[in-house]
Amino acid sequence: MASSARSADSSDVFTPRSTSPSPSVASGRSSHRSSRTSVSNKRVSISSRRLTDFNPMSSVDVLAIEEAMKLASLDQHRGYAQDHYTEVKQDHDTEYLKESEASAYQVLREPLWNKGLSFTPEQRVAKNLTGLLPHAMESLETQCARAMKMIHSRQTGIDKYLYLSSVKAQNVDLFYRLLMDNIRDLMPLVYTPTIGDVCLQYSTLYTRPEALYISIKQRKSIRTMLRNWPCPNPEICVVTDGSRILGLGDLGINGVGISIGKLALYTAAAGIHPAKTLPIVLDTGTNNETNLKDPFYLGLRQKRVSYAEQQAFMDEFMEAVKEVYPNMVVQFEDFDSEKAFNYLDRYRNNYRAFNDDIQGTGAVVLAGYINAVNLSSVPLEEQRLVFMGAGSAGVGVAKQLVEYYTRRGLTEAEARDKFFLVDTKGLVTMDRGDKLAEHKKYFARVDNAGHQFRTLEEVIEYVKPSALVGLAATFGIFTESVVRALKASVDAGGLGRRPILFPLSNPLTKAECTFEQAVQWTDGSVVFASGSPFNSFTLKVGGDAGDITYHPNQGNNVYVFPGLGLGAILSKATRVTDEMVYTSAAALAGSLNAEEVHQGLIYPKIDRVRDASIIVAREVMKAARRDGVSELPESLWIEWEEWGDVALTNYIKQRVYNPTSFSEAKGRL
């Protein structure tokens, strides 16, 4: 962080690590790092030659691509031959370059220090910046207005993303002010849906490192690589192996875009300091043929290793994390479903870890469901739910809802009975004749009397559901006949009842139906939430009634993971417990303001995601305390018990990052 790095106790927050902070060092982060990587100098120069020689955006001619392929294959051999399963030893000093010791050039080049045109005249003199900047001094707001103008001038989502990314590479405070103040417009760029396109093309769009890239071939050096991260003591990491990125399948190392995007939202939506976030991709190969044939693909050019081999690698990774960054919370993201469930079970009791797709999604959908049931006029006990998709998200959500029902007085069997999960083969039943994946067995029906239901229409006809949830990553699978059948089954229960329809798959190209379709096919009665954002929809009614505008909800785990992570960090939780996850859902459900309730929404508006995250974090902290996993001093808890939520909320607010013009950005964890 540029500004808190300047405060007296900033050594823990400040970023670049260096052995030689002399003025002769050319620039900020990259120069410090290269000064310490003499062991692998040769490898570094080979890969940088590849990156600079070929501008991926312009090299469309065949010759350039052939040449690139030749060089890429050379690079692969040379690079990996050197560190194949051997440890690359590097010395790690614990000194970090201080901003006060940095040259003016370094201050401007370090994105965590650079304040752009917001440097005051006094700061410009003190830091020898006079003449290096235009004379004008501007507030962050003015710089944001300029940046928004530039974003609007770009035509495609990717181009807008690239512009934003370049802002982040130059001025972190500006990037986050921009994102926080324009979250409705910009979140769809740094997150779903645009991040899906970015991940698909990550290796081609690549311009600079933004994450830790840990390949299984470097497994002996995991600790070294973790220590190489230039910001000291990161507190939250999002780690993926790229095996199931959004609904786009196995993207290999290209999936790192999702770790980067989610961590940008940890900062924008919950105020975790950017210098405390660490995106990680574990490269264990890819089964994506397009990637394997792509000359620019940056990951290991091999098929994925076996589950057993990856398991051993994962064990080593988790142990290394605990040793190098013992306080860091680990968010597992977008692992394919078998690994997602296995790793959650394996690590949840011994590490500060949670799975976003299982638990974060479970919590966010539960929150939306609690509010949707109220709007639907179908009593909680009468609800019956069909889930299209029985993967990590589908099963994770259904289990979270079962917990809700049991807390409401149902037995576990009664609660489970409300859920009908459907996958590519139809309704999941015990006697379907195929080998059920372990995670599906809990919900496999045994009351189907030998009958199998292959299509969604058949399932709806059989179940007569009140709610339909889509987590199948299949575009358009909620057809008109499916949605009308859902509405008919709800209408049959009585007048004024409303169907709950949640097409939650990401990105938009995988949404089970659109918002407009949902409104049209239910004659406007739908209670709707989608994974990626849709625009409001105006139905032209004509006549005296006038037009009616319908507002969608975004049911995305972005409403939960930032607050859950922040709560886990601030409470110094040794584990992320089920109670903490459940509480995050209950807190989110109760976080709507009067206007949002009046508008019939089930989630807070996305512009209020930060308010919601603070509430979620506060309640998660209290849940950690109830579960006995908070390592905060007892005296603090006694104080908060005495003074109540206001005091705890203030404690959180004082610790969140909030870049402002001309002054130190507030907040550090």
Ligand X SMILES: NC(=O)C1=CN([C@@H]2O[C@H](COP(=O)(O)OP(=O)(O)OC[C@H]3O[C@@H](n4cnc5c(N)ncnc54)[C@H](O)[C@@H]3O)[C@@H](O)[C@H]2O)C=CC1
Query: Which residues are annotated as catalytic?
Result: 191, 262
Q: Give the list of residues 6+ apart from residue 496 with CB closer than 8 angstroms, or none.
A: 377
Least spacing, CB of residue 334 vs Mg ion, in Å: 4
Looking only at residues 151 through 210 of this chain, which bind ligand X when binding is defined by CB under 6 A?
Answer: none
Nearer to Mg ion, 195 or 623 (CB): 195
Q: Give the list of residues 6+ apart from residue 533 with CB closer than 8 angstroms, or none.
A: 187, 188, 193, 552, 554, 606
Per-residue interface string for the shown chain with ligand X, residues 316-355, x marking contact by CB under 6 A: ---------------------x------------------
Looking only at residues 586 through 625 of this chain, which bind ligand PYR when binding is defined by CB under 6 A?
Answer: none
Among 402, 477, 588, 616, binds ligand X (CB under 6 A): 477
Q: Which residue do the tokens 């018990």 mark?
A: 641
Nearer to ligand X, 143 or 337 (CB): 337
Binding part of the chain for ligand X, among 165-173, 217-225, 391-399, 622-630 by CB under 6 A, reads 391-399
| Helix%, strand%, coil% for the chain, nearest 5 | 50, 10, 40
Q: Which residue do the tokens 């609904």 mark?
A: 247
Element of type H or E holding 467: strand 467-470
Q: Is 283 in the site for Mg ion (CB under 5 A)?
A: no
Q: Is 250 in the site for Mg ion (CB under 5 A)?
A: no
Q: Give the list of residues 6+ apart from residue 402 with CB closer than 8 angstroms, or none.
A: 412, 415, 416, 419
Least spacing, CB of residue 160 vs ligand PYR, in Å: 20
- Which one, of 172, 270, 124, 126, lies nearest residue 659 by Cα? 172
Looking only at residues 146 through 175 of this chain, which bind ligand PYR when binding is defined by CB under 6 A?
Answer: none
Among 334, 423, 596, 627, binds Mg ion (CB under 5 A): 334
- Which one, of 113, 91, 70, lies nearest residue 223 by Cα? 91
Q: Give the list of residues 6+ apart from residue 217 with CB closer than 8 angstroms, or none.
A: 80, 83, 84, 85, 300
* Contact of 217 with 225, CB cutoff 8 Å: no
Q: Which residue do the tokens 């015990």 mark?
A: 430
Binding part of the chain for ligand X, among 101-109, 125-133, 240-248, 564-572 by CB under 6 A, reads 240-248
Q: Is 357 in the site for Mg ion (CB under 5 A)?
A: yes
Q: Is 512 in the site for ligand PYR (CB under 6 A)?
A: no
Q: Is 250 in the site for ligand X (CB under 6 A)?
A: no
Per-residue HEC secondary structure of 553-585 comes to EECCHHHCHHHHHHHHHHCCECCCCHHHHHHHH
* Contact of 175 with 514, CB cutoff 8 Å: no
Least spacing, CB of residue 182 vs ligand X, in Å: 21
Looking only at residues 66 through 95 of this chain, which bind Mg ion when binding is defined by CB under 5 A?
Answer: none
- Measure the N-to-C terminal CA separation of the chain; round to a whole number of Å: 12
Element of type H or E holding 149: helix 140-153
Instruction: Say whether 334 counts as a known binding-site residue.
Output: yes
Query: Two tokens at 650?
Result: 């203030």
Q: Is 557 in the site for ligand PYR (CB under 6 A)?
A: yes
Nearer to Mg ion, 332 or 640 (CB): 332
Per-residue interface string for the shown chain with ligand X, residues 428-467, x marking contact by CB under 6 A: ----------------------------------------
Nearer to ligand PYR, 140 or 179 (CB): 179
Instruction: Say whether 93 counts as a known binding-site residue.
Output: no
Residue number of the CB closest to ligand PYR reads 506
Least spacing, CB of residue 618 vs ligand X, in Å: 22
Exposed e or buried b per residue across 440-469, where buried means at least 16 C-beta atoms within 10 angstroms of its C-beta: beebbbeebeeeebeebeebbeebebbbbb
Among 228, 374, 474, 479, binds ligand X (CB under 6 A): 474
* Contact of 538 with 548, CB cutoff 8 Å: yes
CA distance linking residue 456 with residue 465, whole number of Å: 11
Which residues form the interface with Mg ion (CB under 5 A)? 334, 357
Which residues form the interface with ligand PYR (CB under 6 A)? 246, 334, 356-357, 506, 531, 556-557
Which residues form the interface with ligand X (CB under 6 A)? 244, 246-247, 337, 357, 361, 364, 388-394, 422-424, 471-474, 477, 504-506, 510, 531, 555-557
Instruction: Give the annotated binding-site residues for a divalent metal cation.
Output: 333-334, 357
Instruction: Give the annotated binding-site residues.
Output: 244, 333-334, 357, 506, 556
